[in-house]
Structure 1
Amino acid sequence: MPVTIYDVAKKAKVSIATVSRVINNSNVVTEKTRQQVEQAIQELNYAPNVIASALTKKSTLTLGLLIPDISNPFFSELARGVEDASNDFGFNIIICNTDYSLEKEATYTNLLRQKSVDGFIISTAYYNDENVINLLKENVPLVLLGRDIEDSRDYPIDVVGSDNVKGGYIATKHLIELGHEKIACLLGPRQIKVNLEREIGYLKALREAKIKVHDEIIAHGDFKLEFGYQKTIEILKGPIKPTAFFAANDLTALGVIKAVKSLGLSVPKDVSVIGYDNTILAEITDPSLTTINQQMRKMGYLATEMLIKRIKRERTPGKKIVLDVDLTVRDSTFKHI
């Protein structure tokens, strides 16, 4: 039979309440008693029942993290930041991969609520996400990470993200300063607000430079390499031949590079490519990728810290943190002659 708190109390010759105080680091226990209990715990190899503890504390010390694509290094970096903060604050993480599906998102939020998680960190939200709205209505602690929604129905909401309008702007401006005028723009799903913001930055830079906007070379996809590859082939075989591509994430940018090479062209001499996120892929691809740097781990850490403070009632919801972005220039962009 598994060892219980009763067995520990009996061996240490103390009350069950005293064992509980030691487990929960109460300062009302003497050092001698603490050592007795800790020795009994060690000798019996006792593991406290977190779920049972949660029934009295109303906490499982567990958070749910919803991300759309764990294979994307951007979300892996966010998750690492979340995990680092969770460890620092004594919480556990359950990670769910939604594949950009609102149905899967709803399934996982319902499942995690049945498991009594203390709160949610959500990196999957669409700009009109009803799943998020429903959680807000029920006052479930949550933080949106790297995402925002357009309408929170006047419920206060916590968000940690980065300046996506600036990111789209400085990426496009860099290409313009290199002499490019026909600049394609490959974005992620239309329903995700960060894409709309990056597109706003892209368009702002073009209009500021009085460069014509070609809708034919602006496209939305799924943030994956295959989309970047297929759409680049399609665009380069079309009537407008861009000399540069701005991709809204690094995976898409890698697809662009692959497509350009497959057509017998050179990156960056024939076509310049700039990505977004500054994941590990940006450094190891050939040529190395010029990209917009996001503070991914910091975003994950801050979101987790915010959520835990909310759970502990150390703060009220309604805070938005927007981290700065900057340009990392590598070998995939080149002056257009």
Structure 2
Amino acid sequence: MSKATIKQVAREAGISTATVSRVLNDSGYVSDEIKKRVLEAVAKLNYRPSAVARSLKQDKTYMIGIIVPDISNPYFMGISRGIEDVVGPEGFQLLFCSSEENPAKESKQLRLLLEKRVDAIVLATSGGNESVVRGVWEAGVPIVLIDRKLELDNGVRLDLVAEDNVDGAYQLTRKLLQDGYRRIGVVNGPIRVSTGKERYEGVLKAMREFALPWEPLVFNGEFTAEGGSRAVAEFLASDHPPAAIVSLNNRMSLGVLLEIVRHGLRIPDDLAVASFGEVEAGSLLKRPALYYTEQNPNAMGRKTGEILLARIRRELPSAEAAIEIYPGEVKQIQ
């Protein structure tokens, strides 16, 4: 059975295609009697408006692209849910992409979303795609950075919703130092992204405050559970293993906890752990005394959604970037 057209709906209802369009798009005055005839014709013919045609006419697709390193990470899921809570009621749908911390894959996804004519893009960058991001910005597509910063040339600043990474990592490390730990191992992600650089900067800031004469033991991997597991295995195999570990990402922290348990060690008796971001599995341990930086991804997502709508509706000055930085409070699982 061939798909019904708007002309067939107009013929069935005995009116013009323009009037049918006004009813379907809820634009302009149409009497209740005419609306009834149009809706009856639509139901009878099983007419489905073309989303592509409508988007071309309205210059909107009502699609927002989301690129994150790991869509299974509860942190990014929380941000995405917050975004959806704000933009969903306004008719927007989210199109998700997972870059897997791969800059080449992220670059392809940015180009794909541009080809799909999304109305805006949310990006937690894996780094290295400044020229592609700038191309998206120059094409007039609003792009909001989440979690991670990105520096573009010529003074271009993008909208950003992120955490205070330096202070969060500083406060986290400071807690361990206040508890008397001195030999600290740091599990960090790639330093090509701002979170890796800034959180490590916060660790060093705390160590300088306590006038420690040495650098911490550092493992730089990826922001994955596997990375956290490898870090612990490497630390424990070293000549001078750490007494405490600062893990600068919640996914890595999960790997850290699993590897410590695999080695039959107890937290914090054998090895203390502090995590940037809460690890749900931590509450399953007996008396873990696990420090963590509390995050609020849902609030960050809602703020991101508000910025997206304001950009799409051109309610914000184009020359000014909207910047929202969230502080992190250090807490402890007892």
Superposition TM-score, scaled by structure 2 size: 0.90
Q: Structure 1 residue 192: deviation in Å?
A: 0.6
- Paired residue type of 1:243: A
What is the alpha-carbon root mean square deviation over aligned residues?
2.3
% same residue: 32
2:142, 2:312 within 8 Å by CA — same for their partners in 1?
Answer: yes
Q: Structure 2 vs 1, CA of residues 254 and 38 (structure 1 numbering), >3 Å: closer, same or farther?
A: same
Residue of structure 2 in register with 1:263 after alignment: 263
Distance in 1 (CA, whole Å) between partners of 2:47 and 2:167 is 53
Distance in 2 (CA, whole Å) between partners of 1:284 and 1:5 is 59
Distance in 1 (CA, whole Å) between partners of 2:283 and 2:28 is 50
Q: Structure 2 vs 1, CA of residues 241 and 125 (structure 1 numbering), >3 Å: closer, same or farther?
A: closer
Write out the 4+ residue segments of structure 1 that deviate beyond 6 Å after TM superposition: none
Distance in 2 (CA, whole Å) between partners of 1:305 and 1:96 is 21
1:26 aligns to 2:27 (yes or no): yes
Residue of structure 1 in register with 2:291 after alignment: 290
Distance in 2 (CA, whole Å) between partners of 1:130 and 1:293 is 33
Distance in 1 (CA, whole Å) between partners of 2:190 and 2:176 is 23
1:41-190 matches, within 5 Å, as: 41-126=42-127, 129-190=130-191
Q: Structure 1 residue 161: deviation in Å?
A: 0.8
- Paired residue type of 1:328: K
1:62, 1:92 within 8 Å by CA — same for their partners in 2?
Answer: yes
Q: Secondary structure at the match of 1:132?
A: helix
Q: What runs of 5+ residues in structure 1 fail to find an aligned partner?
A: 332-337
Q: Structure 1 residue 283: deviation in Å?
A: 4.3
Q: Structure 2 vs 1, CA of residues 330 and 120 (structure 1 numbering), >3 Å: closer, same or farther?
A: same
Distance in 1 (CA, whole Å) between partners of 2:236 and 2:222 is 19
Deviations 1:120-145 (A, max 9, x none): 11112427633212222333211111
Residue of structure 2 in register with 1:272 after alignment: 272
Q: Secondary structure at the match of 1:329?
A: strand
Q: Secondary structure at the match of 2:330?
A: strand
Q: Secondary structure at the match of 2:276?
A: strand
How many residues in Structure 1 have an aligned counterpart in Structure 2?
330
2:268, 2:289 within 8 Å by CA — same for their partners in 1?
Answer: no
Residue of structure 2 in register with 1:218 after alignment: 218
Q: Bigger CA drift: 276-285 or 258-267?
A: 276-285
2:268, 2:290 within 8 Å by CA — same for their partners in 1?
Answer: no
Q: Bigger CA drift: 4-13 or 193-202?
A: 4-13
- Paired residue type of 2:307: M
Distance in 2 (CA, whole Å) between partners of 1:282 and 1:13 is 67
